[in-house]
Amino acid sequence: MRPWLPLFVVLVGVAPAFTAACASDDARPASPSTAACDGGVCPGGAPTTAPPSTSETAADGGAAEAGGPLPDASAPGTLPAGLPTKLLVGLFEDGGGTWMKSSGVPWNARYRYIVKGWANNFGFGARDGSFARSYFDECAAQGAVPAIAYYQVNGEPGGSEASFLQKTQNAATMAGYFADFKLLMERVKDFGKPVLVLLEPDGTGLLQLQANGNPATAAAVASTGLPELAGLPDTIAGWGLAFLRMKKAVGASNAILGLHVSAWASGKDLSYYSVTDPLDPEVTKVHDFLAPLGLAANTTGLTYDVLVGDPLDRDSDYYRIVRNDPNRWWDASDAAPVGSRSFNRYAEWLRLWNVKTQKRWVLWQIPLGNSNHLNVSNEGASRQGYKDNRPEYFFGPGRAAHLQRFAASGVIALLFGAGAGGVSSYQNDTFTDGKPFMQSRVGEFFAAGGLAITP
């Protein structure tokens, strides 16, 4: 998970700005580190960068690299209304940031966190939600769909992520919490264009573990006294339905609500540790927990619009070097078996969810490290930060096959961003050719026509 330390900066002649630094322990079930990652090769043979296969290079030498758009990508489920029929590719950028606008790349999505205190601009304004609305307007001016990671429970009083369930059981806390969410829905409605609202990253995973997999566990919903939530059950299932009910009560039909699905929620970390375990039984276990929270048909008349996942919150080599955990690398080979720590396994996990729910996926907070990073803390100089292979997997030489594979698993958005201070960033990700990797490669991707998504 990602506890946040808010930093308030007041500059002469500038409105108070809010930034957030994310520094926390990972919420996945703990497992021992058992292998080393040396010489650029990690456990299971996962290279620190994705080497293109002959077939990928040949494919990318055609339409993908020579100016033509990639073929349409189809998957089960319907693209939420109002979203572009192109793969969304965006970055984390706080309000007031200008790097994306000045990069020359037509990014079509932009995201930030919203945390406790946002409703009144962290004490610097009226409780009118203008903090969020101004961000929506900035994104629209840049032609980008705004995305909000609504990460507020952790900032509510009563402890850290270990107290997630306990906080949802406090009627006073939840009354204020859902009042803030109502305000967000009002500002989304006023905005009038699609807004991706990615609800409580890892929150439902924590609830599943802390409630021993029982969605009927007590939570404060109708007992908050909020009229919009009257009649909903005071359970975890009711807590999930409360977001849908509030969206409907406000009339924020342009809010695209995303339910976060953690790959470790069943008690097995399917992405990094329990990599030889069958996927389908664990998907079913988590789906059965989430279905009554609003993933399936329910009394509100709405269901969640998209699924949300985060492949990793920090660069792979950050974990290897700083955390002494070498097991965060994915094998980028197209031949990697599903029963391995690999992109293929993660894509299959996404596909199983997509087929079961008929919902598309938003992947966010994707690490930004590449094979040319120096594996040092990022203080802003060129190449500082830690190595990872996700940017090169999606936008390196093999991008055509890889983007198609993930789109066929239901992915409609790739949102990249640093999940902690000191890790790799798009501002200084200089590659071997001297160019900034994300700016140059994603620019080429958009110039070639991007990737069409079948509605």
Q: What is the pLDDT of residues 224-249, one digit of tens each?
A: 999 999 999 999 999 999 999 999 99
CA 132: distance to chain centroid?
A: 18
CA angle 129, 105, 395 (to 5 degrees): 110
Say what the pLDDT of residue 70 is: 61
Q: What is the pLDDT of residues 130-164, one digit of tens each?
A: 999 999 999 999 999 999 999 999 999 999 999 99
pTM: 0.87
Say what the pLDDT of residue 74 is: 80
Cα Rg of the chain (Å, integer): 21
Dist CA 5 CA 3 (whole Å): 7
Dist CA 454 CA 445 (whole Å): 18
**pLDDT-based confidence at residue 9 (cuts at 50, 70, 90):** very low
SS3 209: helix
Asked if residue 1 is part of any domain, the answer here is no
Structure tokens at 317: 């080599």
**pLDDT-based confidence at residue 368 (cuts at 50, 70, 90):** very high
Distances (CA, A) of 272 to 53, 138, 312: 24, 37, 10
Closest C-alpha to 87, from 437, 427, 405, 418: 405
Element of type H or E holding 372: none
Asked if residue 16 is part of any domain, the answer here is no
Looking at every residue in the chain, the average pLDDT score rounds to 88
A 10 A CB-CB count for 54 gives 7
Structural domains counted in the chain: 1
A 10 A CB-CB count for 251 gives 11
Q: What is the pLDDT of residues 318-331, one digit of tens each?
A: 999 999 999 999 99
* CATH at residue 163: 3.20.20.80
Closest C-alpha to 74, from 357, 442, 349, 405: 405
Asked if residue 42 is part of any domain, the answer here is no
Question: Residues 439, 103: contact at Cβ < 8 Å?
Answer: yes
Average pLDDT over residues 72-97: 94
DSSP characters over 291-354 = GGGTTS--TTS---SEEEE-S-SS-HHHHHHHS---TT--B--TT--TTSSBHHHHHHHHHHHH
% the chain with pLDDT above 70: 84
A 10 A CB-CB count for 225 gives 12
Which amino acid, 96?
Answer: G
Residues 6+ apart with CB under 8 A from 128: 120, 183
Asked if residue 4 is part of any domain, the answer here is no
- Predicted confidence (pLDDT) at residue 16 exceeds the cutoff of 90: no
Question: Residues 247, 257: contact at Cβ < 8 Å?
Answer: yes
Asked if residue 385 is part of any domain, the answer here is yes
Asked if residue 174 is part of any domain, the answer here is yes
Say what the pLDDT of residue 272 is: 97
Question: Residues 311, 262: contact at Cβ < 8 Å?
Answer: no
Asked if residue 50 is part of any domain, the answer here is no
Say what the alpha-carbon torsion angle 23, 26, 32, 37 is, to the nearest 10 degrees.
-60
Say what the pLDDT of residue 305 is: 98
Structure tokens at 232: 């909903």
Structure tokens at 37: 């990652």
Asked if residue 340 is part of any domain, the answer here is yes
Dist CA 153 CA 178 (whole Å): 10
Domain that holds residue 313: 63-453
Q: What is the pLDDT of residues 33-60, one digit of tens each?
A: 333 232 222 323 333 333 333 233 333 3
CA angle 308, 207, 187 (to 5 degrees): 50
Q: What is the pLDDT of residues 271-299, one digit of tens each?
A: 999 999 999 999 999 999 999 999 999 99
